Amino acid sequence: MKTLQKISSMLSSKTSVFVILVAIAAFFVPDIFSWVQGNNQSLVLGVIMFTMGLTLTTEDFKVLAKRPLDIFIGAAAQYLIMPFLAYGISTILRLPNEIAIGLILVGCCPGGVSSNIMSYLCHGDVPFSVGMTTASTLLSPLMTPMMVLFLAGARIEVNAASMFISIVKSVLLPVLLGFILNTLFGKKEAFKEAQKVMPGISVIGLALIVGGVIALQGANFFKSGAVIFIEVLLHNSLGYALGYGVGKLTGMNTAKKRTISIEVGMQNAGLATNLATAHFAAAPQAAMASAVSCVWHSISGTILAGFYLQKDNMQEEQAKNRLAAETE
Residues 268 and 80 sit within 8 Å (Cβ to Cβ): no
Q: Which residues contact 237 (CB under 8 A, 6 or more apart)?
A: 265, 300
CA 233 to chain centroid: 14
Residues 285 and 217 sit within 8 Å (Cβ to Cβ): yes
Please determine, for residue 146, whether its predicted confidence score (pLDDT) is greater than 90: yes
3-class SS of residue 70? helix
Count how many Cα atoms sit within 13 Å of the Cα of residue 189 in the half-sphere of its side chain. Answer: 1
Q: Does residue 321 sit within a domain?
A: no
Q: Does residue 53 sit within a domain?
A: yes
Q: Does residue 96 sit within a domain?
A: yes
Average pLDDT (46-67) is 83
Distance CA 287, CA 45 (A): 14
Q: Does residue 6 sit within a domain?
A: no
DSSP for 209-230 reads HHHHHHHHHGGGHHHHHHHHHH
Distance CA 72, CA 246 (A): 12
Please determine, for residue 283, whether its predicted confidence score (pLDDT) is greater than 90: no
Rounded to two decimals, the pTM is 0.84
66 pLDDT band (50/70/90 cuts)? confident
Please determine, for residue 243, whether its predicted confidence score (pLDDT) is greater than 90: yes
pLDDT: which is higher, 260 or 225: 260
Average pLDDT (212-225) is 75
Average pLDDT (263-270) is 88
Q: Does residue 8 sit within a domain?
A: no
Please determine, for residue 124, whether its predicted confidence score (pLDDT) is greater than 90: no
Please determine, for residue 22, whether its predicted confidence score (pLDDT) is greater than 90: no
Overall domain count for the chain: 1
Distance CA 140, CA 162 (A): 13
The reported pLDDT for the residue numbered 328 is 60
Q: Does residue 14 sit within a domain?
A: no
Q: Does residue 317 sit within a domain?
A: no
Distance CA 35, CA 41 (A): 8
Determine the residue type at 196: K
Closest-CA residue to 285 (of 243, 244, 228): 228
CA 312 to chain centroid: 25
Q: Does residue 15 sit within a domain?
A: no
Given CA atoms 296, 33, 213, 270 in this order, what sign does their dihedral have? Answer: negative
Closest-CA residue to 293 (of 102, 87, 35, 101): 102
CATH code: domain of residue 160: 1.20.1530.20
Structural domain of 88: 36-310
